[in-house]
Amino acid sequence: MKMIARVRAYLSAMNFLVGLYGCSTKMGFLQGVRYTSYRFFCRCWFLINRGTTIVPLSQKSFDKRGWATFQSSTLTKYCDEVLAEIRSKERDDFGLFDANGVLTKPLQTLLPNFTNDLAKELDPFLSSIMGSHVKIFYGRLLKSEPADVRSGSQIWHADGGPGSCINVLLYLQETTAQHGAIEILDFDTSKKLFSVEALSNLQSDSERREGKAFLKSNSKSETRKVRNEWYIDYINKNQCSTAQPIGPSGLCVAFKNNTIHRGGYPENGYVRYALILHFYPALSPLTRAPGAQKGYEKTAAFPNNPAF
């Protein structure tokens, strides 16, 4: 029985590591390979149809580093207008954001032209880092306010969706460290940390305690907390550099869904408004995405079908 459990643990670690290095995801090779194959298909399609205009270097460096930023005066203008609209709505509607700071109305009611306006600006940048056209799976508007302790996405974590997913955070006002700008660990270091964790799962608890490796707890939230402390320890001991992109309203921070990050923890006296969008590879340009009719509500953490 013990032997079977050991073989199972090895196979599961193998599935995890091949998924991580082959498909850039924590979900394992068996689940993640469909998304990576579809991204490959979209990249080939894009390459054939775009010819020489593609910039493969920006896609490669994005894959390695795990994040990139973009800004333009049009985006700033757009985000300023969106924030003015939110602030005016907030005056008459105290329930505009829920207890978690998520907008309670469908995104389109607040931003009717949101895809078309954003698409024109973001499409070239996102296509260059995705290496293909892109489409949106969901969008959420977040208002982050000061709290006594970090919780949820404010502690170090990786989202763990498909490796083809790019998260985009669009700041709706000038965002500094005090506003709770996002902090990101590069993808190469993130992968190293995930590998140590996967390999330490093969050890017994006492072996792990000895090696001071991260120790899983029975509760999910407790495990997240312990993992966060373990990440902080690793980052400090190894002097890993973490990036914290800050900038004017309209700054777009794109990062790999599986790279380690934390954010949205403003200091007292500060508030942060940001739009979070999840992008996936597509065969046609964003401006022609059928999602514009369907809306961008979050119905699941990630799509079941990569070709949604």
Q: Which chain residues interact with ligand AKG by CB under 6 A?
A: 153, 159, 167, 169, 182, 261, 263-264, 276
User: Nearer to ligand AKG by C-beta: 250 or 263?
Assistant: 263
Q: Which is nearer to ligand AKG, 234 or 302 (CB)?
A: 302
Q: What is the nearest approach in angstroms of ligand AKG to the Cβ of residue 159?
A: 5
**Nearest distance, CB of residue 65 and ligand AKG, angstroms:** 17
Smallest distance, ligand AKG to C-beta of residue 262, A: 7
Least distance in Å: CB of 246 to ligand AKG?
Answer: 12
Neighbours of 68 (CB within 10 A): 20
Q: Which does 276 bind (CB under 5 to 8 A by kind): Fe ion, ligand AKG, none?
A: ligand AKG
Nearest residue (CB) to ligand AKG, 136 versus 182 = 182
d(CA 233, CA 223): 15
Smaller CB separation from ligand AKG, 121 or 159: 159
Helix/strand/coil for 228: helix
Which residues of the shown chain bind Fe ion in the complex (CB under 5 A)?
153, 159
Contacts of 268 (CB under 8 A, 6+ apart): 146
CA 93 to chain centre: 29
Residue 280 DSSP class: E
Query: Measured in whole angstroms, how far is the alpha carbon of residue 175 from the centre of its chain?
Result: 18
Q: How far is the CB of 92 from Fe ion (least distance, A)?
A: 31
Whose Cβ is closer to ligand AKG: residue 153's or residue 189's?
153
Return all residues near 262 (Cβ < 8 A) that are at least 6 apart.
150, 153, 154, 155, 156, 157, 182, 183
Residue nearest to ligand AKG (CB): 263
Q: Which tokens hold the place of 253?
A: 């921070």
